[in-house]
Amino acid sequence: MKFSIGMLCAIAVVFTAVPAAAEYADVVLNRRAEKEGMRPVVFPHWFHRIRFQCRVCHAELGFKMRVGSNDVTMNDIADGKFCGACHNGDIAWSPDRCDLCHSGKPGLPTGIVGGHETSGPGRW
Amino acid sequence: MKLHSLITLSLAVSVLVTPALAQKSGKDVYGKTCAVCHATGIAGAPKYGNAGDWSPRIAGGTGRLYGSALKGTPKGMPAKGGNPSYSDAEVKAAVDYMLAAVKTAAKPTATPPQNPVAKEEPKPEPKVATSTPKVDKAEPTPTAAAAMAEAVPVGDVNAFNRLLKPLGKRNPPPPEDGIHDPANDGTHALLPPLTAYAGLPKSLAGNRVNWVEAIGTKKINPRWDRTDPKAEPVVMDLNIVREVKGSMPDVVYPHKQHTEWLDCSNCHPAIFVPQKGANAISMAAILLGEKCGVCHGKVAFPVSECRLCHSKKKDLARPAQAAASVAK
């Protein structure tokens, strides 16, 4: 029965994984990072919203409010765009601290984590 | 809260499973997408595990159901549940998964078929978690048990709260949260959320921080401008009341709490036309991540907190009105 085979796979995977108790609104960014040999990036909303209003990133810096829709490269960051608008050694630590951003578990797909409840691509 | 924990649970499971499987299992797809409507029967969707809802539909044949799931129906079932990135096989697997639940529900199981949360839970038998092969048990049990084994210590079946996540398990520090790699040095340099939240007002969902109160009482002072710590936002105090058909209290949409964080351009005109009543908003759209659901349920407080939005008791004598008072 197809159903039980699916279930068995799921069991195997669940057993090897750790609890996904990630903080609400953490974002995993992994469009390119892992393909280029780096760990996925974890962006913590909670940490940044204590310091900045949403508008700074989502209006001033132009991050689109849809996970995966911003094509960020390290070149942009070094040029002071996206994360690099702040992580420039002036407002926040500079991009040479690779391991602080590239801290995700290998294999994580791009997406918002932490028990979000709306699904589907963030469309309007 | 039940809806909340169900969805959180199913998502927790699916987030774990996703990376390792090229094709998502029916349970994954269900948990990630279909459950938002089918777990509780939103907008008239046939409820998961409810044989009464499903039997007339099953009568038309499984092929027809696959068709409806893939192409959608005029009565509110979106094509592929609104997520075109699923393959046909994944959507069909989700249909199979939902149908299997009605079949197992027809058998005598100790749980009420109406309640998908209870269905997914491990039966109070510690043995299940070790996956002892059992004949004629509902198949979902072992997987759910596996997931739950992490949340609830095995053997603690009679603990006062079996499913409510204990305080110590919420907001875990980065090395233990399941997405950060503990083998990475930087992970251990990151700030644990609870350390940051210590002085902040609490809430019951999301980050479990009441962000509105935190900013209102100046417990936090997030910058409005990237570089200038003194720049102040233009806060607009304009409430829009949206009448809700049925028994739910009306929705009051407050501009004030939003313009404390957001720019007008974050919502207008891409998400909402700035005109009272000009936007068709429904819970189904919100649950699919549109309209209010662009932020709520992802970054702003989650959809489980019905009362925060549905905050105006029905006033039958007067028609609802926008209490417009524009301050500074």
Taking only the tens place, the pLDDT of each residue in A38-76 is 999 999 999 999 999 999 999 999 999 999 899 999 999
Predicted confidence at residue B117, as pLDDT, reads: 38
Q: In chain B, which ranges are continuous DSSP H helix?
A: 2-17, 26-29, 35-38, 51-58, 62-71, 88-106, 116-120, 140-151, 193-197, 211-216, 255-259, 264-267, 283-287, 306-309
Among B113-122, B166-175, B219-228, name the one with the lowest average pLDDT: B113-122
User: Above pLDDT 90, what percent of chain B?
Assistant: 37
B2 in Cβ contact with B117 (< 8 Å): yes
| Segment B109-119 mean pLDDT | 38
Q: Which domains does chain B have, with CATH numbers?
A: 26-106 (1.10.760.10), 239-308 (3.90.10.10)
| Segment B193-210 mean pLDDT | 92
In a domain, A4, yes or no: no
Angle at A39 between CA A35 and CA A42, to 5 degrees: 120
B98 has a pLDDT exceeding 60: yes
B281: its two tokens: 């908003």
Predicted confidence at residue B324, as pLDDT, reads: 39
Cis ω for the linkage preceding B269 (within 30 of 0): yes
In a domain, A47, yes or no: yes
Among A40-54, A96-110, B52-66, B124-138, name the one with the lowest average pLDDT: B124-138
**Helix, strand, coil percentages, rounded to 5, for chain B:** 45, 5, 50
Q: What is the mean pLDDT of chain B?
A: 75
* Record: contact A124-B294, CB cut-off 8 A: yes
A34 contact residues in B (CB cutoff 8 A):
none
Predicted confidence at residue A14, as pLDDT, reads: 30
Q: Residues 41-70, chain A: which have Cβ within 8 Å of B?
A: 42, 44-47, 49-56, 58-61, 65
B102 has a pLDDT exceeding 90: no
B67 has a pLDDT exceeding 70: yes
ipTM given for this complex? 0.79
* Record: contact B143-A14, CB cut-off 8 A: yes
Range of the domain at A100: 20-122
In a domain, A71, yes or no: yes
Quote the CA–CA distance of B253 and B236 in Å, as a whole number: 12
Predicted confidence at residue B43, as pLDDT, reads: 72
Please name the residue of chain A whose CA is at the shortest distance from the CA of residue B287. Answer: A118
Number of domains in chain A: 1
Of A13-17, B112-116, B311-315, give the range with the top mean pLDDT.
Answer: B311-315
B134: its two tokens: 């059992």
Which among B3, B77, B167, B180 is the top mutation candidate for probing chain A, defined by the most A β-carbons within 10 Å of its own β-carbon? Answer: B180
In a domain, A97, yes or no: yes
**CATH code at A40?**
3.90.10.10
Among A75-84, B8-17, B151-160, B267-276, name the one with the lowest average pLDDT: B8-17
How close does chain B come to A96, measured CA to CA in Å?
12
CA trace torsion B52, B8, B125, A6 (10° rounding): 70
